[in-house]
Amino acid sequence: MKKYSLFALAMLISAISFAQENSILNDTVNLDEVLVTATRITENAPFTQSNITKEEIEERNLGQDIPILLNFLPNVVTTSDAGAGVGYTGIRVRGSDATRVNVTINGIPLNDSESHSVFWVNLPDFASSTQSIQLQRGVGSSTNGAGAFGASLSLSTNGIQDNAFAEIALSGGSYNTIKTNIQFGTGVLESLGDFKAEFTGRISKIQSDGYIDRATSDLKSVYLSASFFNENTLIKTIAFGGHEVTYQAWYGIDAETLKRDRTYNPAGEIDDDNVDFLGFYDNQVDDYKQDHYQLHINHHFENNWVANLAFHYTYGRGYYEQYKNDRDFSDYGYTPIVVDGELVETTDLVQRKWLDNDFYGTTFSVLKNFDNVNFIVGGAYNKYDGDHFGKVIWAKYGSTMIDDKFYENTGKKTDFNIYAKADYAIDENWNVFGDLQFRKVEYKVNGVDEGPSSINFKDDNNFFNPKFGVNYFTNNSNFYMSYARANKEPKRADYIANNNVKPESLDDFELGWKYKTDKFLLNTNIYYMYYKDQLVLTGSLDDVGNPIANNIGKSYRLGLEIEFAISILKNLQWQPNLALSINKNIEKYAEFDGALQDFGNTDLSYSPAVVASSNIVYQPIKNLNISFLSKFVGEQYMSNIEHTNSKLDSYFVNDILVSYELQTKTLFKSIVFSGMLNNMFNVKYVSNGYFYTYNDTWTDPNNITTITGAGYYPQAEINFLLGVDLKF
């Protein structure tokens, strides 16, 4: 298991030594504030945000991934490869994909250092260990990890519980989906002299066949935490991780197959020279394990300074296995062989592509509240070391290939940032905010890539990201405006696809109004995001299903976001939101039909002009809640040239959620029954896909024609989930 056990032990010993020399907070510690203060913003900050509580998370937590649980937030679009929210899922905010959404857990970066994406499938049922979530749309304030170009998503794990508890959650439903979850906590215990202690844990297992054929998921996860605290010091150690085995469902299907058999999955198809189709390979799976370790130290000094120090380590390893038909020996670095006197140049084979990586580092912050100023200095230093290699584990011909590495390369990345934030109250009406960040990124890749071909590049970037804002408070209103600058380095796939790829920059302007009374809440926001050299998705995918992006020069996003909550009756609330936007490339040029063509100001890919949600909550009797949830996503293009074949149709989907808590005086403190009917009107819709082009030079080399095509990821039709939560 490599060196992480010694690493975690060393961190724990250092933490205990620190604690013994210093003297924490109150008996009950609000970890939501303690561990994430530096990377989150307050309700009155001049940035656009949504905050989700543990109670709101639990309402929908029946086994689906976190992106699906966030589906009804403003300007959010989610998708699921398997179609039903279990397995690989994705999220887009303001049209920006997951690689541009900065995600942290307790302030620790979660995005993969090379792909910049977050693979929630590696952390199944993590929602059950989440205390709160904050989504900052746009650049937002400074945080740790890769730059935020669409949003920042901050997760805080469960806080300290005063009393001992145990909980068993069971749920199941369509597509043989089953979730089992056991949680426990000791409550606060006397321990280590004047220190108190608290321990919590969770184990989970989720299984699903998926809506798409053979899109099975077998997911296991664990979460353990130990907290030690006194009046001034908090030490919290956390270990969590998951093991996922999913049958691959990232290939998509073409338009004809979508009409004829929308659940068809081409993954693992086995062909033969004499027979077109022989069946499917049983083990066309993605098999990956990921372990996370965090150590957090928080100390309150006598002069009201607060210091946070964290160490972290993540160990990931796994592979995806593929059956390949009729592959050239030369693609694997081998020469053709002679079989029964005949030259054989190709073979059927099974390959595994491995990723083995370490990610570790530290984050830190110091906070001070003066009379009119809140001041924070923070930063992080993180290192990544990833090994990429592939092996052939079976071949019809060429047994010498087996277990040899047909490619092997290493990616190394160092990411350092430091920031300072200040929030100054001029008077009771005016407040100003400033945030300055410097970020230095060093990335290099060396070795042999598939082909085989040499891969060797190095890139260093220094980024300066200033942010400013002002608030004006009057009666029940808060008017704000802000400016934020962000810079972002390319992904590994961007470097490989284009040697001349450049970093991208973004200037984000926000203007908003918040109005709040006891029975009414209104948030409105106008944003203008101007990009230079934006890396926009082309619509194409690499062989692992990762989106490919290119620099496109200048582009922008202009939008209006409105959300409100109103108490219509004492037991009836309505919570709708609406996002209207214009998302444009400025003077888009692209190769098409053998020539560089000017397509004008085209729509940015995967950027619908209209996204709307609604949640009507009705409580007919005490402890019974009924929610009617609706989601509309307007039409969108999967390309940046507005090609007809790249258009995804709009869709309107409705769910209903029912929960009832039965409070008992027997063995259980309470029993919570819940049920969800998803897509209740059985809409056949597609939320994601890809678009590709290639030049046809076979027919007439002098008259090049661009061939286009598209793949689609259909989402589940009407389906249900039922659950029971037993609380001791």
Q: Which residues pair with 365 in a beta bridge?
A: 308, 378
In angstroms and rounded to an integer, the radius of gyration of the C-alpha atoms of the chain is 26
Task: Tell me how far apart the alpha carbons of residues 224 and 414 are, in angstroms, rounded to a whole number.
Answer: 28
Pick from 607, 616, 624: which is nearest to 565 by CA? Answer: 616
Task: Tell me how far apart the alpha carbons of residues 328 and 322 are, in angstroms, rounded to a whole number.
Answer: 15
Mean pLDDT, the chain, rounded, equals 89
For the segment 371-399, what is each residue's pLDDT rounded down to a tens digit? 899 999 999 999 999 999 999 999 999 88
Q: Is 609 helix (H, G, I), strand (E, B) or coil?
A: coil
How many alpha carbons lie under 13 Å from residue 574 in its C-beta half-sphere? Answer: 5
- Is 280 in contact with 271 (CB distance < 8 Å)? no
Angle at the Cα of 505 from the Cα atoms of 502 and 510, rounded to 5 degrees? 165
- Is 709 in contact with 75 (CB distance < 8 Å)? no
Task: Tell me how far apart the alpha carbons of residues 24 and 29 are, in angstroms, rounded to a whole number.
Answer: 8
For the segment 363-376, what is each residue's pLDDT rounded down to a tens digit? 999 999 888 999 99
- Other CB atoms within 10 Å distance of the CB of residue 141: 25
Task: Tell me how far apart the alpha carbons of residues 292 and 525 are, in angstroms, rounded to a whole number.
Answer: 36
- Is 487 in contact with 440 (CB distance < 8 Å)? no
> Residue 664: what pLDDT?
85
Inform me whether the pLDDT recorded for 698 exceeds 70: no
How many alpha carbons lie under 13 Å from residue 381 in its C-beta half-sphere? Answer: 1
Confidence of residue 186 (pLDDT cuts 50, 70, 90): very high
Mean pLDDT calculated for residue range 147-155: 87
DSSP secondary structure string, 351-412? EEEEEEEEEEEEEEEEEEE-SSEEEEEEEEEEEEEEEEEEEEEEESS-GGGBT-EEEEEEEE
Type of residue found at 126: F
Confidence of residue 302 (pLDDT cuts 50, 70, 90): confident
- Is 179 in contact with 62 (CB distance < 8 Å)? yes
Inform me whether the pLDDT recorded for 309 exceeds 90: yes
Mean pLDDT calculated for residue range 159-171: 93
- Is 632 in contact with 655 (CB distance < 8 Å)? no
Inform me whether the pLDDT recorded for 8 exceeds 80: no
Task: Tell me how far apart the alpha carbons of residues 546 and 286 are, in angstroms, rounded to a whole number.
Answer: 14
Map 124-180 to HEC letters: CCHHHHEEEEEEEECCCCCCCCCCCCCEEEEEEECCCCCCCEEEEEEEEEHHHEEEE
> Residue 25: what pLDDT?
38
Confidence of residue 213 (pLDDT cuts 50, 70, 90): very high
> Residue 559: what pLDDT?
97
Q: Kindly report which listed range (199-208, 569-578, 626-635, 657-666) carries the lowest average pLDDT score.
A: 657-666
> Residue 11: what pLDDT?
40
Is-cis flag, bond preceding 336, omega within 30? no
More confident residue, 162 or 319: 319
Token code pair at residue 582 = 């214009």
For the segment 506-545, what is each residue's pLDDT rounded down to a tens digit? 999 999 999 999 889 999 999 999 999 887 766 556 555 5
For the segment 28-80, what is each residue's pLDDT rounded down to a tens digit? 445 446 678 888 888 778 889 999 999 999 988 999 999 999 999 999 999 99
DSSP secondary structure string, 326-357? EEEGGGGT---EEETTEEE-EEEEEEEEEEEE
Q: What are phi and psi of 126, to 5 degrees?
A: -65, -20
Inform me whether the pLDDT recorded for 552 exceeds 90: no
> Residue 541: what pLDDT?
61
Let me know if 297 is exposed, middle or buried by CB neighbors in 10 A (0-12, 13-18, 19+). buried
Evaluated on CA atoms 23, 27, 31, 34, the torsion sign reads: negative
| Ramachandran sector of residue 196 (left: φ over 0; alpha: ψ -120 to 50; beta: rest) | beta
> Residue 9: what pLDDT?
37
Q: Kindly report which listed range (302-306, 555-559, 576-580) carries the lowest average pLDDT score.
A: 302-306
> Residue 24: what pLDDT?
34
- H helices of 134-272, where? 255-260
Q: Is 434 helix (H, G, I), strand (E, B) or coil?
A: strand
The highest-confidence range among 159-163, 486-490, 679-683, by mean pLDDT, is 679-683
Which residues, including other chains, have CB under 8 Å from residue 577's CB and lie 6 or more apart? 72, 73, 74, 75, 561, 562, 563, 564, 612, 613, 614
Token code pair at residue 379 = 């930063």
Mean pLDDT calculated for residue range 402-426: 95
Mean pLDDT calculated for residue range 227-233: 89
> Residue 303: what pLDDT?
82
Mean pLDDT calculated for residue range 463-484: 95
Token code pair at residue 550 = 């290119």
- Is 151 in contact with 140 (CB distance < 8 Å)? yes
* CA-to-CA separations, 677 to 81, 282, 611, in angstroms, rounded: 20, 31, 21
Pick from 242, 248, 293: which is nearest to 122 by CA? Answer: 242
Q: Is 267 helix (H, G, I), strand (E, B) or coil?
A: coil
Confidence of residue 22 (pLDDT cuts 50, 70, 90): very low
In the DSSP assignment, the letter for residue 96 is B
Q: How far is CA 58 from the centre of its chain?
A: 19
Confidence of residue 665 (pLDDT cuts 50, 70, 90): confident
Q: What are phi and psi of 248, to 5 degrees?
A: -60, 130
Q: What are phi and psi of 504, to 5 degrees?
A: -120, 155
Map 619-680 to HEC letters: CCCCCEEEEEEEEEECCEECCCCCCHHHEECCEEEEEEEEEEEEECCCCCCEEEEEEEEECC
Q: Is 597 helix (H, G, I), strand (E, B) or coil?
A: strand
Q: Which domains does the chain have, with CATH numbers?
A: 4-585+599-617 (2.40.170.20)
Q: Kindly report which listed range (275-279, 287-291, 465-469, 697-701) carries the lowest average pLDDT score.
A: 697-701
- Is 610 in contact with 631 (CB distance < 8 Å)? no
Strands 520-532 and 535-541: unpaired
- Other CB atoms within 10 Å distance of the CB of residue 615: 18
Mean pLDDT calculated for residue range 135-157: 89
Mean pLDDT calculated for residue range 584-602: 82
Task: Tell me how far apart the alpha carbons of residues 154 and 132 are, in angstroms, rounded to a whole number.
Answer: 8
| Ramachandran sector of residue 396 (left: φ over 0; alpha: ψ -120 to 50; beta: rest) | alpha
Q: What are phi and psi of 52, to 5 degrees?
A: -120, 125
Mean pLDDT calculated for residue range 715-724: 97
pLDDT > 70: percent of the chain:
92
